[in-house]
Structure 1
Amino acid sequence: MAKLKFSQSLDELERRIGFRVADRARLERALTHASHRAAKGATNYERLEFLGDRVLGLVVSEKLFEMFPKSSEGDLSLKLNQLVSADACAEIADAVGLPDFIRHGGGDLKKMPADSTRNIRADVVESLIAAIYLGNGLDDARRFILRFWADKLGAAATARRDPKTALQEWVHTRTTVPPRYEIVARTGPDHDPIFTVRTVIDGLAPAEGQGRSRRLAEQEAATAILIREAVWKEDEA
């Protein structure tokens, strides 16, 4: 976008999100990184990011609760963690076009490697949510979140999750030690083997799975634990 005065760029941001943010000073703060020369004291986005993270979690949790009435607490937590992750928030920042508006001491974020700016982009989405919430109320914050997270929420409703990924995410909420997969047996002829694999997780009883490849056996073993621990239901596996 062409270079605009910051006040003009805020008008453009409000056009993109579809409504005005009541507190203009707070909106400016939500877009200001601590490294920027305008950031003095608490005039950067860090406190707003803290609050916005909680508002985002509330709105997405509420929507998941509504969308998946049969899902367990564990499965809802897995979906929530994915939807509010730094990667997801950074993608939303790009969809809104927030890098056009972020004030950063290092210059234009769009000219920096995406990996190096991921957390900044994610944080600013959350601080923007807080600015909307504090200035306009929860209804507008919810409207913003449900609009820009619509595709991700839709994907969560239709995707069949990889059981090993789902198990690792669930285990991560309990411990930093990831699941281990051990080959228990390999039977059958070389051209058509059957693998038996055991999944081992600290503090839980192991589970086994079988398949015509090691990968399939690992997925079956992961699925067995997800069902046994009520993270998944039988009809969701």
Structure 2
Amino acid sequence: MKLSAELKEFETRIGHVFANPALLTRAVTHASMSSPTREDNQRLEFLGDRVLGLVMAEALFAGDASATEGQMAPRFNALVRKEACADVARDIGLGEVLRLGRSEMVSGGRRKNALLGDAVEAVIAAVYLDAGFAAARDMILRLWGARIGQVEEDARDAKTALQEWAQARKMAPPRYVETQRSGPDHAPVFTIAARLDTGAQALATAGSKRQAEQAAAKALLADLENSK
């Protein structure tokens, strides 16, 4: 099968020309567009997630011979989580070539972290199946680029880090309260407050509750650190 002009351009952006173009077509087809004659990318997501994990584990292991398991684990999590994958998807314009059903398009699917992250994993699997592990590894390292070397040693999930901070001081877990919601239904914007029993709190706004909670937790941790 032949690829559309936009998918040919996408091949250029990821640096891989498919011997089997059907794999790329499948990788960019969301479940909302699946049919008995059209496969979606869900199975590819599963495989791509594992390939990505191995590549990142290998890169972190080789990149810092002195790092302990306790140091590598949070770095790994920061590099493979959905937000990181979605950032890469935006860098390569993956949202622009996704094949989505009407419901997903109307609800802003091309901008959703979960959908973009899953699609990146599907593309990774497609390259792996098309040309093998070395080709997939090379593409991943190229697309993640400086993110790998710059990942913070303490790049833990901010909500987890805040909870650990509270537990270490025998405090109740932090609470996350939605204080405001704005924007249209297909592209809502949430404002979340991260609060501790001491009364300390921080606000953050984002396009998903999860992002807003993470940002609020990060902001509160920074405030607590600065108040020492």
Short-chain TM bin: 0.5 to 0.7
TM-score by length of 2: 0.66
Query: Following TM superposition, by how much is the alpha carbon of 1:8 offset from its aligned partner in structure 2, in angstroms?
Result: 1.8
Question: What amino acid does structure 1 have at the position aligned with 2:131?
Answer: N
Q: How do 1:93-112 and structure 2 match up within 5 A?
A: 93-106=89-102, 112=108
Deviations 1:158-197 (A, max 9, x none): x4637894973997xxxxxx8514379xxxxxxxxxxxxx
Query: 1:91 is matched with which residue?
Result: 87
Partner of residue 169 from structure 2, selected from 169, 172, 182: 182
Counterpart of 2:24?
Answer: 27
CA drift at 1:139: 1.2
Are 2:154 and 1:145 aligned?
Answer: no
Q: 1:74–1:170: 8 Å Cα contact kept in structure 2?
A: no
- Cα distance 1:67–1:162, how it changes in 2: closer, same or farther (>3 A)? closer
The CA distance in 1 between the partners of 2:140 and 2:156, in whole Å, is: 28
Are residue 75 (structure 1) and residue 71 (structure 2) matched? yes
Identity within the alignment, %: 35
- Other-structure match for 1:16: 13
- Residue pair 1:17, 1:144 contacting (<8 A) in 2 also: yes
RMSD after superposition = 3.4
Q: Does 1:215 align with 2:221?
A: no
TM-score, normalised via structure 1 length: 0.64
Larger Rg: 1
In structure 2, C-alpha distance between the alignment counterparts of 1:67 and 1:170, rounded to whole Å = 30
- The CA deviation string for residues 142-165 of structure 1, in whole angstroms up to 9 with x for no partner, is 111001111211212xx4637894
Deviations 1:9-50 (A, max 9, x none): 2211111112202221111110000111x5437700000000
Task: Measure, in 2, the Cα distance between the counterparts of 1:98 and 1:89.
Answer: 11
**Paired AA for residue 25 in structure 2:** E
1:106-163 per-residue CA deviation (whole Å, 9 max, x = no partner) reads 3785982776x1111000000000000000111110111001111211212xx46378
Q: CA deviation at 1:6?
A: 5.7
The match for 2:36 is 40
Task: Give the AA of the match of 1:215.
Answer: L
Aligned residues: 176
Distance in 2, Cα, partners of 1:54 & 1:127:
11
Match of 2:128 in 1: 133
- State the distance in 2 between where 1:6 and 1:148 align: 22
Task: Report how far residue 72 of structure 1 moved.
Answer: 1.2
Q: 1:169 to 1:16 in 2, by over 3 A?
A: farther
Query: In structure 2, what residue type is equivalent to 1:14?
Result: E
- The structure 1 segments of at least 4 consecutive aligned residues displaced by more than 4 Å after TM superposition are 107-111, 162-167, 216-219
> Which amino acid counterpart does residue 168 of structure 1 have in structure 2?
A
Q: Distance in 2 between matches of 1:89 and 1:169?
A: 23
Q: Secondary structure at the match of 1:64?
A: helix
SS of aligned partner of 1:122: helix
Gaps of 5+ in 1: 172-177, 185-213, 220-237
Corresponding position of 1:210: none
More displaced stretch, 144-153 vs 50-59: 144-153
The verdict on how the C-alpha distance between 1:35 and 1:163 changes in structure 2, with shifts beyond 3 A counting, is closer
Match of 2:50 among 54, 64, 69: 54
Answer yes or no: is the 8 Å Cα contact 1:86–1:122 preserved in 2: yes
Secondary structure of 2:169's partner?
A: strand
**What code does the residue aligned with 2:10 have?**
L
SS at match of 1:27: helix
